[in-house]
């Protein structure tokens, strides 16, 4: 396999079955050393199972899991060089914060003496900005503070890989934002590989170097956040990451990079093929995705210099603060979602409910992809 | 042992309307009313008898038996004559508790952490013995422990001349048999409440299964262990039936001495002195036990984690 750059985690055809049900189907991926990788997907997509196989809580039914280049088949959790931050922190309630953090230190080889253990726990507390909290019990801390203790408890062991299982799910939005940048800072500081499992795409997009989108036990696409958003490999990803207007149809024409699709409504749409994912073939089903923020909206009579132009009526107007979302019903394609950013010279909420408008985009704004 | 109930405290509001204040005082009266039966119970059936026994213990035996007023310390000075009952109780009650604990913990652990399918069935099996009278079950042990029972079985393996019935061993076996469920349940409850993710976290941090048990499972099940130990120990200190039946009049507990003094020799003052001494001993032992528990980090009450 490719040794350059080295990967800390590698999965080769990993399958995990529980009885008849398979939680994970033939996973193949590698996580580059020192990177921040996320597994993103809805509940039941197999992302947590994947993480638990890295941690050693689950053994794959078949396939190989490699940690730092070594096959870890049969290696129990307590002998793996990984540490986990659990979803509900799983702090030991009967121990103080300092004892929680020092918990794993005595199992290190060579084992640091008591004094060194305490010093390391103190340093870890300082790193997560909780100096002076060592003597408290976990129950005396707020959710965000407990989260930091869980982080310190894992990082103090200097693992090869830090696993994060939906670590921010229990925090409120503001605190979550704060912890996100905290996590990024820590990752840069300690330089070890972070693997995050989340269902929150915003979280995954804002923190990761690379993301694997999972669905039904398989990885649909592994890419950088930019690629995922700007060049989704399939309809599922285009729909799951952010929002897309999706037009299904059959491929009529393929010319180099350009795809012409006859939609279910009998209209022809043209757009470039997505740079990732499968190529399309003529007469195969496919779809074209257009992001709401790439679509323009104008009054029915206004000039609009876009290659695709459709008349419609505003059905819903949703004010989102930094932008306004219009749901415009068109005759050709049903409801089309348009997002208009707030700008000084242009009131974003210019169109009332029921107003006659036209929406439009250029061929280049769409992406054609497999279903 | 202290059966006093804790009243729900009414939180003082900041600014209460007249209606709210009325509701609150009504609520308080309701609380007091609901506490009345247990308060009466506590006063009439626990404190009063205890006071009576305290008074009796300084009195004298009347000529026909029973109690005659007086003040003497003779009853207490005479306690030495029952030294055998004291030593039997003070050895077998703690020992029985300990054996119960050692036997109950693995069972409770198994039920709480290893069984998933038939758990309620197995839990029911633990209490099935309670469906028959304790007396009858203890009588059954007479047969099991006498010549034709377990000793005969042991003899067939070559262990001749094992005598069990009417020995301290018989009493110990009876105690463990009778009180095991009382130890199993509190421990089971505390183990069942244990967050299994803590064990995963422990393994994740490098602790082996044994280390996780020692550092996580055991301390977190301490409330159940403490409750179970207290429950069994307190009951054993006053045990009467098992030594009477399986000890055959040779292994005497304080409970048996009390029955003897009150019912046979009708020496109520001496019996009262013995009873008061038993209560005092129990208070001291439990006090010391709870102190030790508190010092070594356990929590005496089964508070939710």
pLDDT digits (tens, 9 = 90+) for B168-190: 999 999 999 999 999 999 999 99
How many residues appear in chain A?
371
Name chain B contacts of A79, Cβ cutoff 8 Å. 206
Which pLDDT score is estimated for B63? 85
Q: What pLDDT digit, counting tens, does each position of A97-143 carry?
A: 999 999 999 999 889 999 999 999 999 999 898 999 999 999 999 98
* Same domain as A153, residue A73: yes
Q: What pLDDT digit, counting tens, does each position of A173-189 carry?
A: 888 888 899 899 999 98
* Same domain as A216, residue A328: no
Please name the residues between 47 and 66 in chain A that touch chain B, using a CB distance below 8 Å.
55-57
Task: State yes or no: pLDDT of B76 exceeds 70.
Answer: yes
What is the distance between the alpha carbons of residues A77 and A73, in angstroms, rounded to a whole number? Answer: 11
Which pLDDT score is estimated for B241? 92
Tell which of B116, B198, B204, B226 to mutate to test the A interface (max A CBs under 10 Å): B204
The structural domain count of chain A equals 2
Q: What pLDDT digit, counting tens, does each position of A195-223 carry?
A: 999 999 999 999 999 999 999 999 999 99
- Are the beta carbons of B88 and B175 closer than 8 angstroms? no
ipTM of the complex: 0.84
Which pLDDT score is estimated for B230? 93
At residue B116 the predicted structure's pLDDT band, cuts being 50, 70 and 90, is: confident
What is the distance between the alpha carbons of residues B56 and B273, in angstroms, rounded to a whole number? Answer: 8
What is the mean predicted confidence (pLDDT) over A280-305? 88
Task: State yes or no: pLDDT of B302 exceeds 50.
Answer: no
Asked, for residue A124, whether it belongs to a domain, the answer is yes
CATH of the domain at A11: 3.40.50.300
* Same domain as A245, residue A226: no
Whether B205 and A108 lie within 8 Å, measured CB to CB: no
Among A275-284, B95-104, B172-181, B243-252, name the one with the lowest average pLDDT.
A275-284
Which pLDDT score is estimated for B9? 46
Which pLDDT score is estimated for B301? 39
* Same domain as A258, residue A223: no
Which pLDDT score is estimated for B159? 82
What is the mean predicted confidence (pLDDT) over B56-82? 90
* Same domain as A53, residue A130: yes
Q: Is B61 helix (H, G, I), strand (E, B) or coil?
A: strand
What is the mean predicted confidence (pLDDT) over B243-258? 90
Which domain range does residue A326 map to? 235-371
* Same domain as A255, residue A225: no
Which pLDDT score is estimated for A344? 67
Whether B219 and A153 lie within 8 Å, measured CB to CB: no
Q: Of A181, A212, A230, which marks where a domain is finished?
A: A230
* Same domain as A267, residue A199: no
Q: What are the boundaries of each domain within chain B? A: 74-295
What is the distance between the alpha carbons of residues B271 and B261, in angstroms, rounded to a whole number? Answer: 5
Whether B198 and A90 lie within 8 Å, measured CB to CB: yes
Distance from the Cα of A270 to chain B's closest Cα (Å) equals 52
Please report the number of interchain residue pairs, chain A to chain B, with beta-carbon separation below 8 angstroms. 59
Task: State yes or no: pLDDT of B18 exceeds 80.
Answer: no
> Is the minimum CB–CB distance between A100 and chain B shorter than 8 Å?
no
Taking alpha carbons only, the member of A348, A260, A339 closest to residue A296 is: A339
* Same domain as A338, residue A277: yes
* Same domain as A354, residue A226: no
> Is the minimum CB–CB distance between B198 and chain A shorter than 8 Å?
yes
Task: State yes or no: pLDDT of A171 exceeds 70.
Answer: yes
Which pLDDT score is estimated for B16? 60
Name chain A contacts of B305, Cβ cutoff 8 Å. 93-94
> Is the minimum CB–CB distance between A94 and chain B shorter than 8 Å?
yes
Task: State yes or no: pLDDT of A348 exceeds 70.
Answer: no
Asked, for residue A1, whether it belongs to a domain, the answer is no
Among A24-28, A274-278, B128-132, B167-171, name the one with the lowest average pLDDT.
A274-278
What is the distance between the alpha carbons of residues A327 and B294, in angstroms, rounded to a whole number? Answer: 65
Q: Of A195, A230, A265, which marks where a domain is finished?
A: A230
Task: State yes or no: pLDDT of B10 exceeds 70.
Answer: no
What is the mean predicted confidence (pLDDT) over B44-71? 91
Nearest to A83 among B198, B204, B219 (CB): B204
> C-alpha B216: how far from its chain's center?
26
pTM above 0.90, yes or no: no
How is domain B74-295 classified at the architecture level of CATH?
A: Orthogonal Bundle (1.10)
Strands (E), chain B: 60-61, 67-68
Which pLDDT score is estimated for B298? 52
At residue A81 the predicted structure's pLDDT band, cuts being 50, 70 and 90, is: very high
CATH of the domain at A367: 2.40.50.100
Which pLDDT score is estimated for B4? 45
* Same domain as A217, residue A246: no
**What are the φ and ψ backbone dihedral angles of A168, each rounded to 5 degrees?**
-105, 5
What is the distance between the alpha carbons of residues A282 and A271, in angstroms, rounded to a whole number? Answer: 14
What is the distance between the alpha carbons of residues B271 and A253, in angstroms, rounded to a whole number? Answer: 107
Q: Of A230, A265, A298, which marks where a domain is finished?
A: A230
What is the distance between the alpha carbons of residues A162 and B55, in angstroms, rounded to a whole number? Answer: 70
> C-alpha B79: how far from its chain's center?
24
Which pLDDT score is estimated for A289? 93
Top mean-pLDDT range of A271-280, B6-15, B51-60 = B51-60
What are the beta bridge partners of residue A197? Answer: A39, A165
* Same domain as A154, residue A245: no
Name chain B contacts of A78, Cβ cutoff 8 Å. 203-208
Q: What is the percent of chain A with per-residue pLDDT over 90, rounded to a whole number?
A: 64
Q: What pLDDT digit, counting tens, does each position of A225-278 carry?
A: 999 999 999 899 999 998 999 999 999 988 878 899 998 888 889 999 888 777
Which pLDDT score is estimated for B8? 47
Which pLDDT score is estimated for B107? 96
Cα dihedral A318→A319→A325→A326 (10° resolution): 50
> Is the minimum CB–CB distance between A76 and chain B shorter than 8 Å?
yes
What is the mean predicted confidence (pLDDT) over B31-60? 93
Q: Over the range B269-293, which residues count as b (16 or more CB within 10 Å of their CB) and which as e?
A: bbbbbbbbbbbeebeebbeebeeeb
What is the mean predicted confidence (pLDDT) over A363-370? 90
Asked, for residue A2, whether it belongs to a domain, the answer is no
What is the mean predicted confidence (pLDDT) over B99-111? 96
* Same domain as A221, residue A247: no
Distance from the Cα of A336 to chain B's closest Cα (Å) equals 45
Whether A86 and B195 lie within 8 Å, measured CB to CB: no
What is the distance between the alpha carbons of residues A134 and B136, in angstroms, rounded to a whole number? Answer: 57
What is the distance between the alpha carbons of residues A288 and A269, in angstroms, rounded to a whole number? Answer: 8
């Amino acid at each position: 396999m490719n040794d350059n750059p080295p990967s800390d985690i590698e999965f080769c055809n990993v399958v995990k079955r529980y009885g008849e049900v398979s939680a994970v189907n033939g996973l193949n991926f590698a996580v580059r050393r020192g990177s921040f990788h996320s597994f993103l997907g809805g509940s039941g997509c197999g992302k947590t199972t994947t993480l638990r196989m890295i941690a050693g809580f689950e053994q794959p039914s078949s396939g190989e899991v490699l940690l730092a280049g070594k096959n870890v088949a049969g290696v129990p959790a307590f002998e793996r060089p990984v540490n986990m931050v659990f979803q509900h922190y799983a702090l030991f309630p009967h121990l103080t914060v300092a004892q929680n953090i020092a918990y794993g230190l005595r199992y290190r080889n060579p084992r640091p003496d008591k004094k060194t253990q305490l010093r390391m726990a103190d340093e870890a507390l300082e790193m997560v900005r909780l100096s002076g909290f060592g003597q408290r019990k976990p129950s005396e801390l707020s959710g965000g503070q407990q989260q930091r203790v869980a982080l310190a408890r894992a990082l103090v062991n200097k693992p090869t890989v830090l696993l994060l299982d939906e670590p921010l799910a229990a925090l409120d939005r503001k605190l979550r934002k704060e912890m996100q940048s905290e996590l990024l800072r820590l990752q840069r500081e300690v330089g070890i590989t972070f693997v995050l499992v989340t269902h929150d795409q915003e979280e995954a997009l804002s923190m990761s170097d690379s993301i694997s989108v999972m669905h039904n036990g398989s990885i649909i696409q592994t890419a950088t956040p930019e690629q995922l958003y700007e060049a989704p490999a399939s309809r599922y990803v285009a729909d799951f990451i952010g929002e897309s207007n999706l037009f299904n149809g059959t491929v009529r024409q393929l010319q180099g990079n350009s795809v012409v699709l006859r939609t279910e409504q009998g209209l022809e749409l043209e757009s470039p093929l997505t740079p990732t994912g499968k190529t399309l073939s003529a007469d195969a089903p496919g779809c074209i995705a257009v992001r709401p923020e790439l679509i323009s909206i104008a009054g029915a009579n206004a000039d609009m210099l876009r290659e695709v132009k459709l008349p419609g009526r505003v059905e819903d107007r949703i004010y989102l603060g930094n932008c306004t979302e219009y749901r415009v019903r068109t005759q050709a394609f049903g409801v089309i979602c348009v997002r208009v950013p707030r700008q000084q010279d242009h009131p974003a909420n210019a169109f009332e409910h029921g107003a006659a408008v036209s929406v439009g985009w250029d061929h280049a704004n769409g992406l054609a992809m497999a279903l | 042992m202290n059966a006093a109930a804790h009243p729900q405290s009414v939180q003082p509001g900041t600014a209460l309307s007249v209606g709210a204040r009325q509701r609150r005082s009504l609520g308080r009266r309701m609380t007091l009313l609901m506490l009345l039966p247990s308060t009466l119970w506590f006063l009439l059936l626990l404190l009063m008898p205890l006071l009576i026994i305290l008074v009796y213990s300084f009195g004298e035996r009347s000529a026909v038996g029973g109690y005659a007023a007086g003040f003497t310390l003779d009853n207490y000075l005479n306690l030495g004559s029952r030294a055998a009952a004291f030593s039997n109780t003070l050895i077998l009650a703690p020992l029985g508790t300990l054996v119960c604990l050692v036997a109950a913990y693995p069972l409770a652990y198994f039920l709480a952490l290893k069984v998933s399918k038939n758990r309620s069935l197995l839990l029911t099996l633990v209490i099935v013995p309670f469906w028959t009278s304790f007396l009858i079950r203890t009588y059954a042990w007479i047969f099991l422990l006498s010549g034709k029972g377990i000793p005969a079985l042991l003899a067939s393996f070559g262990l001749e001349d094992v005598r069990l019935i009417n020995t301290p061993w018989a009493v110990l076996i009876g105690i463990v048999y009778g009180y095991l469920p009382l130890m199993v349940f509190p421990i089971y409850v505390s183990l069942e409440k244990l967050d299994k993710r803590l064990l995963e976290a422990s393994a994740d941090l490098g602790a082996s299964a044994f280390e996780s048990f020692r550092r996580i499972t055991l301390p977190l099940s301490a409330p159940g262990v403490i409750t179970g130990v207290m429950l069994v120990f307190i009951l054993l200190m006053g045990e009467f039936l098992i030594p009477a039946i399986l000890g055959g009049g040779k292994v005497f507990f304080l409970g048996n001495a009390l029955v003897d003094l009150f019912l046979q020799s009708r020496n109520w003052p001496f019996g009262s002195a013995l009873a008061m001494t038993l209560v005092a001993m129990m208070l001291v032992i439990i006090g010391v036990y709870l102190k030790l528990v508190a010092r070594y980090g356990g929590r005496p009450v089964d508070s939710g984690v």
